[in-house]
Amino acid sequence: MYEGRNFPQFYITAPATCPYLPGRMERKVFTHLIGEDAGRLNDALTQGGFRRSQNIAYRPACEQCNACVSVRVQADRFDFSRGFRRTWRANRDLAARMQPAQATSEQYSLFRRYIDTRHNEGGMADMTVLDYASMVEDSFVKTRLVEYRKGPAVSLAGPDPREDEGELVAVALTDVLSDGLSMIYSFYEPGDTRRSLGTYIILEHIMRAREMGLPYVYLGYWVSGSPKMGYKSRFLPQERLTADGWSTVGG
């Protein structure tokens, strides 16, 4: 439970078009994550179904829809299916490194290729390099970047991939919580479809959470009926937040 000295103030947005389900409107409840209590508040709110965007924590508050469901993977119990093992092997030449959340021009170039190819009509299509830097660095909580580069075999404690100037192929912006890793945003080389990099990044976070002794990897919202979010249901066992608390699926 959050025990900050000042209880946060919450606000609600005006109705807007839902980005996931056609013909529906969305509203969000949100609060600010600032000051010395931001980390503890982010922990409590994430465990209660909120997501973070820079210094804002938000969750859906739609009047006639509850399709957005918070999902977290049980890292220790995760089942590496044949398909997941195949994806892991396809990326064994990548080296992953968790580091402070600092934006670089190299990351932004990859980000722009990803957005222009995959999401050129989305809300991030007009993001400048300064917008990208704000997304990465504007945080009062424990935020990290994981860079994935071509190079030695993946190791959580292996050599610094920068030593051989390996090509950057993927990046994940991640919050480190008291009970898990919360994946805020990730992007990758859009032309390298053989690797299934989106899936691989999640698998690597699951392995990283195990190494760090953290029970969960938070994936954000799974939306039934939305093709954009359907992939999250593949990572089992997982817990989904219901009106009665977190409920295990696929366990």
The reported pTM is 0.90
Does the pLDDT of residue 96 top 60, yes or no? Answer: yes
Its CATH class, for the domain covering 74-219, is alpha beta
What pLDDT does residue 227 have? 84
pLDDT of 103-157, one tens digit each? 999 999 999 999 999 887 767 888 999 999 999 999 999 999 999 999 754 455 5
What pLDDT does residue 161 have? 46
Residue with tokens 């190819």: 117
Rounded to whole angstroms, the Cα distance separating 120 from 63 reads 30
pLDDT of 174-221, one tens digit each? 999 999 999 999 999 999 889 999 999 999 999 999 999 999 999 999
Q: Is beta strand 168-176 parallel, antiparallel or unpaired with respect to 143-150?
A: antiparallel
CA torsion angle 43 48 53 55 (round to 10): -50
Helices (H) and strands (E) in the chain, counts: 5, 14
Residue 10 to residues 2, 27, 32, 103, 235, Cα–Cα distance (Å): 15, 13, 8, 30, 32
Residue 67 to residues 42, 129, 218, 226, Cα–Cα distance (Å): 23, 33, 17, 9
Q: Please, which pLDDT band fits residue 165 given cuts at 50, 70 and 90?
A: low
How many C-beta atoms surround the C-beta of residue 207 within 10 A? 18
How many C-beta atoms surround the C-beta of residue 98 within 10 A? 16
Percent of the chain topping pLDDT 70: 91
Task: With beta carbons less than 8 A apart as the criterion, state whether 239 and 74 touch.
Answer: yes
